[in-house]
Structure 1
């Protein structure tokens, strides 16, 4: 039998970080073992499920490059199959009709609580057949009354639950629609899922699902429950921690490789290694090596990983992601250098691609104003002569590349007998609009020669205005 894992999100919101890590672990385990990876959309919560959420899940999976082998399957398209399974359980005596109202069930739970017993439905309709006519009912699974369920968890080890602790859970609502624990079981059975990888908030559901699988005569898959992710403050990761949706990380300027690398280490390790290529993840990952304790999200660590990938991945590939941010910020990249050249000079100067786009605007757009602080500090009356001389040398260049540009700046400083800073800093402000940029000769070479000359003229005008007002 082919090893098969699945990722089964509910389309009631974005693809969050915890879900992305579950998808990654499921995908890696299937890849490592030459298996299949299924994407299943659990959309039976019709009121809360939206197409926008389905799109967000797909966008996140595609951005992270976690391709599925089969799917996406939608539970709302499988209601007939769930009905068959429910009928099978009824016919074999593993399910029954329950006519109790919600208030009656609540009273049963309250009575059990008052007696110090487990709060659950008391099985009032479990063995009755005197069904009233024309009254609404739900269908409950007839959970075994004795014995125990052993979950052979690949992460947590064996977990044993007594059947006495379990409820006769509802598997079909009064309108006939199936519930989560029934649909998941039928899907995993039909889709031949061999390994269920999911968050450990599902541990309480697993013994119920195992009992239903056995009642259906289905094969029980292996389970791996991954501990939760905690925020920087040690509390469960949630919206209050900021960017918990996968596509928000794209919007904030992270590379997908960085987020995947960070997520794979958020609950799994291989010695002290921090950086893993996709191939290394597949080769080295094993569910049995996952941590049993929750993992803490550390934004600074994610930034470090992102910086590593911006600097080490092929500039052309990084540029393909930078392009999204340039467009998002309204920067027309047709009017400047190739983006991979920007990556080469800016990657070690920023934390994110969003920041890279922000500080690279001057390569593509003219500016009407120079940074006020830089003007005050560097465009003083004494720099008019150096700017005029260096402009003349630049205008005479027939080779607009870093070496001749650097020589022209050096020659200007030598002729005027001033330090390089007296030429370089005013020139940097003139060319970029501010006081920060990559190496000046490389920065200027990436700009059009005439554009640099025009910007020097603009700076000279500012200097002359200061002279006139002094």
Structure 2
């Protein structure tokens, strides 16, 4: 995967703003960035927004926001294809002038009929070149590329992941460059942009391999050098289908709202098709070791469990002050001191998988307590009042509420109530936290302190 035309490496990420950015697209952006960093090159952002019906300004803005949040920054751009339409028409005109393209007046009805006949005959659908020799027609027209018809013409290129690939030009029909609406096709606009932006290396999903042969023909016809391509296998959902913008659970916006950290998403995404050590890596760490040759040729499955593991590990490593800022918590708004908020976060951070979980666990210890339906049902059980009463008695007598004192109080409550451990802990937890789940009870009491613990227990007697 070496530079084909110049020592100045340029890579690009070229998404369409037709939905929220998902993990598969992030991996493409990340690998292009890493290769540029590794080689001292530049990384370009280009927005392919020529689909006016599906492209939305809110998706474009979300794209910029999510990339910046993840730490994926670009050296040049963003370029918007919708602002470059005249360029595409200019280069289409050059191909018309030198005979490498032609105008086609075939109607949609004729093309549909042609496709039906080809499918009925068991042949792949492709344009039959009817207008290839025509000089003039009537009505709307498209501009088609005249695919070379030389006998046994092969389109060959070396792929950075898959190796040598050859495609028979005979299976490619004369494809559209400019539609009847004067908009450029994806393949044509991408080639013009890649050439004019001096893109040297293109890393993208292997669903684009079929486009590469067409694009190679266009680079050649326009007199441009062909970039190096590396097509990486697609990222799959747990159902083993390719991730798409319809998979909202894998969108960066959704993961961000659920409380996943950008560092965790980047680390987990990089491991999709790239075997790395277990240490959590930053973008700079990855750039030092990135190599196309190390990428897998097989599809990878987005592993939410790996992301949870990494996120939990990162939360555990960070200080309470940092986590408070990242979770957008405010002691004044909650009604507690900064010290109390930090104490609560320190107590619960080892149990939290996401920032949302961190906030919910901390809420059990600070502010106004709310009770889940399960907790309320538990507090109405037959043993609840006697257990809470026995535990409260031990708390009120204790002079120091550490883990040893807690264990002694629990032992005494067991003897007094004759309730087994499993049934003993639950009413106490529910009375103190409003939930049936949370951190260890002795840590709850350490954070609450004696006065608050007594206050919460007495509410249920």
User: In structure 1, what is the equivalent of residue 305 of structure 2?
Assistant: 300
How far apart are residue 158 of structure 1 and its match? 1.2
1:278 and 1:419 mapped to 2: Cα distance? Answer: 57
- Tell me whether 1:269 sits opposite 2:252 in the alignment: no
User: In structure 2, what is the equivalent of residue 397 of structure 1?
Assistant: none
The one of the two structures with greater contact order (alpha-carbon pairs below 8 A, sep at least 6) is 2
Secondary structure at the aligned position of 1:258 is classed as helix
2:79 and 2:18 mapped to 1: Cα distance? Answer: 16
**CA RMSD of superposed structures (Å):** 3.4
The correspondence for 2:455, drawn from 454, 457, 466, is: 457
1:418 and 1:117 mapped to 2: Cα distance? Answer: 80
2:391 and 2:196 mapped to 1: Cα distance? Answer: 78
Greater displacement, 284-293 / 335-344:
335-344
User: In structure 2, what is the equivalent of residue 400 of structure 1?
Assistant: none
2:30 and 2:349 mapped to 1: Cα distance? Answer: 27
User: In structure 2, what is the equivalent of residue 8 of structure 1?
Assistant: 14
User: In structure 2, what is the equivalent of residue 88 of structure 1?
Assistant: 94
1:25 and 1:234 mapped to 2: Cα distance? Answer: 22
How far apart are residue 80 of structure 1 and its match? 1.5
Detail structure 1 runs of 4+ shifted over 6 Å in the superposition: 416-427
2:297 and 2:143 mapped to 1: Cα distance? Answer: 36
For the 8 Å contact 1:11–1:57, the answer to whether it is kept is yes
Change (3 A) 1:372 1:288: same
> Any unmatched runs of 5+ in structure 1?
395-403, 464-470
1:96 and 1:49 mapped to 2: Cα distance? Answer: 29
Change (3 A) 1:88 1:351: same
Normalised by the size of structure 1, how large is the TM-score? 0.83
Normalised by the size of structure 2, how large is the TM-score? 0.85
Greater displacement, 417-426 / 117-126:
417-426
Change (3 A) 1:34 1:145: same
Alignment of 1:428-447 (within 5 A): 430-434=431-435, 437-438=438-439, 442-444=443-445, 446-447=447-448
User: In structure 1, what is the equivalent of residue 360 of structure 2?
Assistant: 358
2:243 and 2:112 mapped to 1: Cα distance? Answer: 32
User: In structure 1, what is the equivalent of residue 3 of structure 2?
Assistant: none
For the 8 Å contact 2:202–2:229, the answer to whether it is kept is yes
Secondary structure at the aligned position of 2:250 is classed as coil
Greater displacement, 367-376 / 35-44:
367-376
- Tell me whether 1:108 sits opposite 2:117 in the alignment: no
1:299 and 1:368 mapped to 2: Cα distance? Answer: 30
Q: Deviations over 1:420-449 (max 9, x none)?
A: 9999988765543446554556544544x6
2:87 and 2:113 mapped to 1: Cα distance? Answer: 34
> Any unmatched runs of 5+ in structure 2?
1-6
How far apart are residue 26 of structure 1 and its match? 1.1
How far apart are residue 188 of structure 1 and its match? 0.7
The correspondence for 2:402, drawn from 401, 406, 411, is: 406
Change (3 A) 1:238 1:98: closer
For the 8 Å contact 2:363–2:369, the answer to whether it is kept is no
For the 8 Å contact 1:387–1:426, the answer to whether it is kept is no
2:121 and 2:456 mapped to 1: Cα distance? Answer: 85
Q: Deviations over 1:342-388 (max 9, x none)?
A: 44322322332222222221333222657442574875346547635
User: In structure 2, what is the equivalent of residue 281 of structure 1?
Assistant: 286
The correspondence for 1:345, drawn from 326, 344, 347, is: 347
Q: Deviations over 1:83-135 (max 9, x none)?
A: 21111111222111111112222333334444444421111222332x035x2
